[in-house]
A = this chain, B = another copy of it.
Amino acid sequence: MKYVMVNAAACVLLACNTTQPEQTNLAQQLAAGKWIDLGYDLSDQTLYWPNNPTGFKLDTTAAGITPAGFYYSTYAFSAPEHGGTHLDAPSHFAENGVGVDKLTLEQLTGEAVVIDVSAKAQQNRDYLVTTNDIGEWENTNGKIEAGMMVFFKTGYGKFYPDAEKYFGTAERGAAAIPKLHFPGIDSAAAQWLADHKIKAVGIDTPSIDVGQSKNFKTHQVLMGAGIPGFENVANIDALPARGAYIVALPMKIKNGSGGPLRLIAWVAKG
């Protein structure tokens, strides 16, 4: 037995069973593609905003042969919420927005579209994604529908974790913030995405706002609309323009404003 796509006439012919497919067939369908990891690991190389005094730290609690004769290792970690591949929850920029633990699995899973602005962004470190970019993409690829996730590919992911090339500066401390230069999303484009009721926004730069942003208006718009952001997305080149299925699972920090994100995409085998 197999699943095939048939039209309505053939269904009449076959007296098709119109009940939903069973669970075991989901695994079969998933086997027709593969999961791709869209996240970086967390280490002392993980990139954080320049004014974060500490990055990701891992301390050894135990590592070696125990007195009882078996091997055992365990560690403890500490980090700011917002660094590496991470999620911004609505409460990051919206006082009444939900925290990272309250985002539903319905919101954190779904189909992705990928809007490639890398040709422009590679020539301009301060490139702002506009509603025109979205419109041009739709002209070629079809409409973006409510409930989709929208990823923007700037091409900057290839620089990670080289801070100089990725952030525009490798300097640390508050004085480095005005020196940040990387592409982001214009607030009018953010409003377009909010108006179209997308589930989430992802980008292969440190922030959905451009590096030179002072007021983080794009964060304000999206998070004000309850839409989370995925930042420092890895391997975005592996995603097709349409059709990837995303599972985005942030660390479930109670009342957190965001946190480390495991972000994966299912894509059909090429």
Contacts and interface: CB of A to CB of B under 8 A. Distances in A.
Interface of A: 1-7, 10-11, 13-14, 16-18, 20-27, 29-30, 32-37, 39-43, 54, 58, 61, 63, 68, 70-82, 85, 91-95, 101, 105-106, 109-111, 214-216, 220, 240, 242-245, 247, 249-260, 262, 264, 266-269
A249 to B, nearest CB: 3
Contacts of A26: 29-30, 33, 245, 266
Contacts of A216: 70, 72
A105 B3 contact: no
Contacts of A74: 80-82, 92, 257-258
Contact of A80 (B76, B93, B269): B76
Contacts of A54: 76
Contacts of A18: 2, 4
B30 A245 contact: yes
Given A215-B70, A256-B75, A266-B26, A6 B6 contact: yes
Nearest to A101: B41
A17 B5 contact: yes
Given A29-B29, A247-B247, A268 B70 contact: no
Contacts of A249: 247, 249, 262, 264
A240 to B, nearest CB: 8
A70 B222 CA distance: 13
**How many copies of the chain does the oligomer comprise?**
2
Contacts of A78: 76-79
A259 B91 contact: no
Contact of A79 (B2, B42, B77, B106): B77
A254 B43 contact: yes
B253 A77 contact: yes
Nearest to A26: B245
A70 B4 contact: no
17 contacts: A2-B18, A4-B11, A5-B21, A10-B14, A20-B33, A22-B268, A23-B244, A29-B29, A41-B253, A43-B254, A58-B255, A68-B215, A70-B215, A72-B93, A76-B79, A77-B79, A251-B251
A68 B266 contact: no
A57 B42 CA distance: 18
A244 B26 CA distance: 9
